[in-house]
Amino acid sequence: MTTSEGRRVSGHPSRELPHFTAWRVTPACRGAILADHVAQEALITTEKALDLIDFGSVQVDGRQETNPERRLAGNEEIRLYWPWKGIQRFYEIDPERILYQDRVLLFYDKEAGIPSQQTPADGYNNLFAALFRHFKKSGAASPYVALHHRLDRDTSGVMVFALDRSANRRLGEAFEQRSVVKDYLAWAQGSPPADEWVSREDIGRKGGRYCTLPRGQGKPAETAFQVLHAEEGRCLLWASPRTGRTHQIRLHLAAAGLPILGDSLYGGPPDHRLYLHAYRLRLKHPVTRQELSVTAPVPTDWPPPRVPAIPAEPGT
């Protein structure tokens, strides 16, 4: 951001964020149009500024702003995140991956490598934005999509979205009250300590990274695990998180000495993907109250056995 002498601050790229340029709008720029202001401050053409704003790479006071005609009031903080690979619009949903849809709900089998929602530098290539575009192209007069939970970028599997505002309250309450049952599959490195166990380490942040902490020193987290298949050096596990902390399953398995294959962030061996898959969601329909159980097929690029004896519940 601009200092009292008018200098700007540049942020160095990290594992999570690309390079960014930040500044604070001076009183002299009050009333300026956002696209023109970004072009002037970033030393780029207005056309490039328009494209970056449309791509979701510009934040005003911490929120993505996609209206290039916005008039600035002065004193706003502007951040311009430079996309890792430039402006590339490559992702659209695959209708074949829609697992269930009715008037108010949609379940989708998210691909590995695709964010659930916008990232600081890219508001286009994510599942949430692509679903909105899908309904808009389908002719919906006022397309509506609401996000109530997320999967990590590299985790595949089932997600649920609201397609009507009437579903939001009960769907939100279901996640908050932990009545949505989430079942995952994971290939991990190492030998499991038991056929079944429950991890209860807290989860917090240290040094800018998520980590497990002794109980009482972070946010409570609990995951039930069951071994489905074991072979030399690795095992296939069933995981049922009873809380919804960031990277919960990955962290609990790493703490147990069982890092997930492909999870280089938490000590897993390198592989072409993260072997964590959201296999099933179970919840009451927010409108009809019908019990729903929606399964995302095991990815075809997983090692065999891809479909072992999947239990209805852990421990059965």
Say whether 109 is catalytic: no
Q: Are 217 and 296 in contact (CB under 8 A)?
A: no
Long-range pairs for 132-136: beta carbons < 8 A, 24 or more residues apart: 133/92, 134/92, 134/93, 134/95, 135/163
SS3 content of the chain, % helix, strand, coil (to 5): 20, 30, 50
Q: How far apart are CA 279 and CA 298, in angstroms?
A: 7
Of 85, 82, 84, 161, nearest to 116 (Cα)?
Answer: 161
Q: 16 vs 13, 119, 207, 248, 272, CA distance in Å?
A: 8, 9, 14, 17, 19
Q: 69 vs 54, 66, 184, 314, CA distance in Å?
A: 11, 9, 44, 53
* Active-site position among 109, 122, 152, 183: 152
Of 190, 193, 156, 187, nearest to 261 (Cα)?
Answer: 187
Q: Are 294 and 100 in contact (CB under 8 A)?
A: yes
255: Cβ contacts below 8 Å, ≥ 6 apart: 199, 201, 212
H-helix or E-strand containing 238? strand 234-241
Q: How far apart are CA 305 and CA 301, in angstroms?
A: 11
Residue 48, helix vs strand vs coil: helix
Active site residues: 152
